[in-house]
Each structure stands twice: as structure tokens, then as C-alpha cells.
């Protein structure tokens, strides 16, 4: 069997966890698929897959080989796309990773628009706060807020999100309204931490042209943006969050915006992707779509 066909077969077996399903997708006999993988393992002098009657899973060597195969096959597909001039109609698998609220509040509610424009792209979307290794995990791009830490990635700015400080009416009835930024030290907040930062993020306000940080006391900390807002709705403390996330709650008087005379710094949001992905048609059209999407917020 051709080496590239074998590599494609191997990646499909890993992803589907099944020889039979992978063979069916590639329209080859099950026995042929099994023989090809045995030959591949023999040529590499290592076991790539652990097989039982019910399951197929990678060995440690198999997992490392899978990541390299995905990178090679992706590069080849991108090269073919460039030569065939199919940028206007890209196809294939696109792996993206979004923070939870960006997925649930912004991207997923409009994702059918992207599919209608690019029906041949198969999206695989993960979400969460953890840091991801784009190259190691085979992810094409991520959407992240804050300051870019990894200089090996290319950043495409999406927007500068206005932020607000707010709290529930129940909390304010008990603890009162902060009248100035210095009053924040008299209040509790909902703590927020991430996989890259175990301590809670401080509140920030622009005071006399300078960004000033305020550390508030808290008895509850969360690491998920949705839980952050829910905690504030329950009266557990103040939060500082992008306005889009709490606009409805403010309009419905479930949360009250505070310290309106002092601006919160904007939160930068960007799409990040590995340098070797910059010519990928799939990545390019998805990020172009994200730019348009975020500009509409």
C-alpha cells in the first residue's frame, strides 16, 4: 500500500478507534487495513496500536507518530490546495479551540452561517480554559483573550472588548455601592483563576490616565467564565467581565453596572495559529469569518 495512504489509514484508525470504520471510510478491505498497519509497525520496528476485541488505542510511540502524521498530512493537503487554487472552496478537517463563552455566546450561535459558506469544511471544536499546544495537539487555531504569551504563534486581532464591573442587587443591598475605585477594597469579588495562573486576577480601572489594579477579598473562586457570572448573579461578589457576557443581565436588572465614571481597560481578543498554518485555506477563511463575526458585536 502507498505510504501516504497507509499514514492516512493509521490516522483514521486512531481517530475512529476502529479498524473496520477506518477501512470503510477509505473503501478498503478490513484485512488489507490490518495488513498495512502490521507492515507499518514492522518497518518502524515498534508497536503503534494496542488491539483488543473491542478497542483500539495508541501506544506512547503510536500517539507521537499520530501527531507527526497529522502534521505531515495537513501540510500536504495545504500544499495541494495552493496548487489547485481551491482557496475559494477549502475543504477538510479544521480543529479549533475556544474559551467557553466565546463558543457558547458568540461562535456557536452563528456557526451555521460558516457551514453554509464552507460546507466542505468539517469543524472539530474544543473549548476550555487550559493552555493548549497547537502543534502537539494538532489544533489549527484558537481564540483567546488577553496578552499573547507564545511568540511562536501568529495573532490576528479580532476585537477590543469593553469590560464592566457589576454585582447583583442582593449583594449591593447587603454591602452597599462602591462610589470610587478605592471603595473596592471594602468589597468582595468572585475570584477567577486559570490553568496558567493560580492566583485570582485583579480588577483594573483607568484612573487619571493610568491602569490601576485592585485586589479584592473573595471566598469563592472559579475557573470558568459562565460560573463566574452565575456566582455574581447569586450575590457572592463583584465581577469584572466583558460587557457582552452580562449585557442581558444588566438590561433585566439582574446585575448592576458599577463605577461608570471610571473605564475598565479593553480586553484584547485574537485568533492564534502556528506559523506553519498561515497559508492554510481552511484556517484563513475561518479566521476571516471570525473577524467579521466579532466586528458585529
Question: Residues 170, 248: one domain?
Answer: yes
Question: Residues 191, 149: one domain?
Answer: no
- Say what the alpha-carbon torsion angle 220, 224, 226, 227 is, to the nearest 10 degrees: -20
Question: Residues 172, 227: one domain?
Answer: yes
User: Considering the domain boundaries, does residue 167 fall inside one?
Assistant: yes
Please give the share of the chain, as a percent, with pLDDT higher than 70. Answer: 88
User: Considering the domain boundaries, does residue 214 fall inside one?
Assistant: yes
Res. 68: pLDDT tops 60: yes
Q: What is the pLDDT of residue 134?
A: 67
Mapped onto helix, strand or coil, the DSSP state of residue 277 is helix
Question: Residues 171, 242: one domain?
Answer: yes
Euclidean distance between CA atoms 18 and 25, whole angstroms: 11
Higher-confidence residue of 137 and 189: namely 189
Question: Residues 150, 275: one domain?
Answer: yes
Read off the pLDDT of residues 33-66 as tens digits, 9 standing for 90 and up. Answer: 999 999 999 999 999 999 876 788 899 999 999 9
Average pLDDT, the chain: 87
Nearby residues of 88 by Cβ (< 8 Å), 6 or more positions away: none
Question: Residues 237, 286: one domain?
Answer: no
User: Considering the domain boundaries, does residue 80 fall inside one?
Assistant: no
Take residue 275 and report the three cell numbers written for it: 506559523
CATH number of the domain within which 21 lies? 1.10.10.10
Euclidean distance between CA atoms 125 and 160, whole angstroms: 23
Euclidean distance between CA atoms 238 and 165, whole angstroms: 7
Question: Residues 233, 103: one domain?
Answer: no
Where does a domain end: 21, 39, 69?
A: 69
Higher-confidence residue of 147 and 246: namely 246
Is 242 in contact with 158 (CB distance < 8 Å)?
no
Provide the whole-model pTM: 0.64
Domain of residue 27 covers: 3-69
Categorize the per-residue pLDDT at 121 as very low, low, confident or very high, splitting at 50, 70 and 90: very high
Is 271 in contact with 97 (CB distance < 8 Å)?
no
Categorize the per-residue pLDDT at 240 as very low, low, confident or very high, splitting at 50, 70 and 90: very high
Question: Residues 243, 112: one domain?
Answer: no
Question: Residues 7, 55: one domain?
Answer: yes
* Count of structural domains within the chain: 3
Q: What is the pLDDT of residue 132?
A: 61
Question: Residues 178, 259: one domain?
Answer: yes
User: Considering the domain boundaries, does residue 76 fall inside one?
Assistant: no
Mapped onto helix, strand or coil, the DSSP state of residue 127 is strand
Res. 130: pLDDT tops 60: no
Is 207 in contact with 227 (CB distance < 8 Å)?
no
User: Considering the domain boundaries, does residue 23 fall inside one?
Assistant: yes
Read off the pLDDT of residues 76-120 as tens digits, 9 standing for 90 and up. Answer: 876 666 555 555 678 888 999 898 788 888 999 999 999 999 999
User: Considering the domain boundaries, does residue 174 fall inside one?
Assistant: yes
Task: Estimate to the nearest angstrom the gap between the alpha carbon of 261 and the chain centroid.
Answer: 33
CATH number of the domain within which 136 lies? 3.40.190.10
Question: Residues 172, 224: one domain?
Answer: yes
Question: Residues 276, 255: one domain?
Answer: no
Amino acid at each position: 500500500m502507498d505510504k501516504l495512504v497507509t499514514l492516512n489509514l493509521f490516522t483514521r484508525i486512531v481517530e475512529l478507534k476502529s479498524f473496520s470504520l477506518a477501512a470503510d471510510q477509505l473503501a478498503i478491505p478490513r484485512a488489507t487495513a490490518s495488513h498495512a498497519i502490521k507492515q507499518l509497525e514492522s518497518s518502524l520496528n515498534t508497536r503503534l496500536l494496542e488491539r483488543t476485541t473491542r478497542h483500539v488505542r495508541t501506544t506512547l510511540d503510536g500517539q507521537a507518530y499520530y501527531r507527526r502524521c497529522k502534521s505531515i498530512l495537513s501540510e500536504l493537503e495545504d500544499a495541494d490546495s495552493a496548487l489547485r487554487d481551491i482557496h475559494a472552496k477549502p475543504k477538510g478537517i479544521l480543529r479549533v479551540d475556544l474559551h467557553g463563552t466565546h463558543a457558547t455566546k458568540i461562535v456557536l450561535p452563528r456557526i451555521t452561517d460558516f457551514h453554509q459558506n464552507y460546507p466542505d469544511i468539517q469543524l472539530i471544536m474544543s473549548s476550555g480554559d487550559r493552555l493548549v499546544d497547537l502543534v502537539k495537539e494538532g489544533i489549527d487555531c484558537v481564540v483567546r483573550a488577553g496578552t499573547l504569551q507564545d511568540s511562536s504563534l501568529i495573532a490576528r486581532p479580532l476585537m477590543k472588548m469593553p469590560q464592566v464591573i457589576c454585582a447583583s442587587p442582593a449583594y449591593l443591598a447587603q454591602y452597599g455601592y462602591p462610589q470610587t475605585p478605592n471603595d473596592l477594597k471594602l468589597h468582595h469579588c468572585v475570584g477567577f483563576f486559570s490553568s496558567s495562573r493560580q492566583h485570582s486576577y485583579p480588577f483594573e480601572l483607568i484612573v487619571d490616565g493610568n491602569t490601576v489594579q485592585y485586589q479584592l477579598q473573595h471566598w469563592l473562586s472559579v475557573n470558568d467564565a459562565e460560573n463566574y457570572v452565575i456566582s455574581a448573579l447569586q450575590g457572592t461578589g463583584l465581577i469584572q467581565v466583558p460587557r457582552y457576557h452580562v449585557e442581558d443581565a444588566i438590561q433585566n436588572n439582574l446585575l448592576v453596572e458599577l463605577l461608570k465614571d471610571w473605564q475598565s481597560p479593553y480586553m484584547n481578543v485574537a485568533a492564534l495559529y502556528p506559523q506553519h498554518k498561515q497559508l492554510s485555506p481552511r484556517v484563513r477563511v475561518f479566521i476571516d469569518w471570525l473577524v467579521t463575526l466579532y466586528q458585529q458585536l
